[in-house]
Amino acid sequence: MKIFLDTADVKQIEVLLETGMIDGVTTNPSLIAKSGGDIKETIAAICDIVDGPVSAEVTATDVKGMLAEADVLSAIGPQVTIKVPLTKEGLIVCKQLSARDIMVNVTLCFSAGQALLAAKAGATFISPFVGRLDDLGADGMNLIADICTIYDHYDFATEVLVASARHPQHVVDAALIGADVITLPPSIIDQLYKHPLTDKGLAAFLEDWKQTGQSIL
């Protein structure tokens, strides 16, 4: 399963790229606003250091406006993936952009029916928001399982990109179900490293080694 980093903070991206575990980046208007940077300059800076897909979201809601913004954003670099909302207009734009071999990430997906339409529109990625469904008392991972099953039945090329992950268990569950990608904020990636038994075991090993009085160097 690929891991995308969900941030527009270039410094955070640079640090986490050193792990070799980051396959791409997703941004949205909220993350761009949080970064305090110009959207075009920020996306360009991310593309300079990231080889994988970089999602940049349009802010227009009409077809003409979305297409115009998509032209500007896609001109930044070949890895720019245009992010459109899962609306009728968004799917029309998705169909047109995919016909031009421009990668498209259809976002704000909350049902399997929506995901089916996105795949038929030629989406490169579908982004179901599991955390927001969990917040409402639903099980977001059930949606991921349904979408993966439907896509497998019909050999859709659209990749399932799990979004709005809230904790490390979402990562494990997504991998078990067979999702193609998960996008994570840096905080959750940091949590994935941690386990109390790992810390306890390392402390014991180091204490035992200290008692030997030896040095490897």
The span from the CA of 76 to the CA of 45, in Å, is 10
Q: Answer yes or no: 120 catalytic.
A: no
The span from the CA of 59 to the CA of 86, in Å, is 13
Whether 161 contacts 127, CB under 8 Å: yes
Q: Where are the beta strands (DSSP E) in the chain?
A: 2-6, 24-26, 54-57, 80-85, 104-109, 125-128, 159-162, 181-184
What single DSSP character describes residue 27? -
Phi, psi (degrees; rounded to nearest 5) at 160: -85, 115
Sequence-distant (6+) residues with CB within 8 A of 182 are 1, 2, 3, 4, 161, 162, 163, 165, 170, 171, 174, 175
Q: Which of the residues 2, 34, 40, 83 is marked catalytic?
A: 83
Query: Widest CA span of the chain, in angstroms?
Result: 72
The span from the CA of 126 to the CA of 193, in Å, is 27
Q: Dihedral (C-alpha) 158, 159, 160, 165: value to the nearest 10 degrees? A: -140
Q: What residues are annotated to the active site?
A: 83
